[in-house]
Amino acid sequence: MFFSKFFKKKYPYAPIAYLGRKTVERTLDANIRKLKKVEKEIGEEQDHTNAEASKAEKKNAESNKALNKKVDAKKSQKKAVDQSKKSVEKSKSKVSTKSKK
């Protein structure tokens, strides 16, 4: 019970309410908005930036996939060339051993 009195508001309204929102805006040349509206705007901005970031990540992932496909294609081409070289060398060695006999 004692603590409830200790934490009780001294004034029921914000100081701007006593002075008047419009007069404070004029004197301070500021725009006064409710905290709930500001928090809502910040949340919307964060959602917007998160959506943009996810779009950018998707684009990067797609470009990385394309690059990986190109690299994989080059690797497979190299493997094919190496295999053909080995097969040619084997056939040459077979031919050379047959001609020696």
Q: Say if residue 39's pLDDT is above 80.
A: yes
Q: What is the pTM of this model?
A: 0.34
Query: Which pLDDT does position 98 carry in this prediction?
Result: 61
Give the chain's mean pLDDT: 77
Q: Say if residue 96's pLDDT is above 70.
A: no
Tell me how far apart the alpha carbons of residues 2 and 40 are, in angstroms, rounded to a whole number: 36
Tens of pLDDT, residue by residue over 44-60, are 888 888 887 777 777 77
Query: Which pLDDT does position 95 carry in this prediction?
Result: 67
| SS3 assignment for the chain | CHHHHHCCCCCCCCHHHHHCHHHHHHHHCCCCCCHHHHHHHHHHHHHHHHHHHHHHHHHHHHHHHHHHHHHHHHHHHHHHHHHHHHHHHHHHHHHHHHHHC
Query: Which pLDDT does position 79 carry in this prediction?
Result: 78
Give the number of other CB atoms < 10 A from CB of residue 75: 10
Query: Which pLDDT does position 100 carry in this prediction?
Result: 57
Q: Say if residue 2's pLDDT is above 80.
A: no
Tell me how far apart the alpha carbons of residues 101 and 98 are, in angstroms, rounded to a whole number: 5
Number of domains in the chain: 1
* 50: containing domain: 2-38+45-100
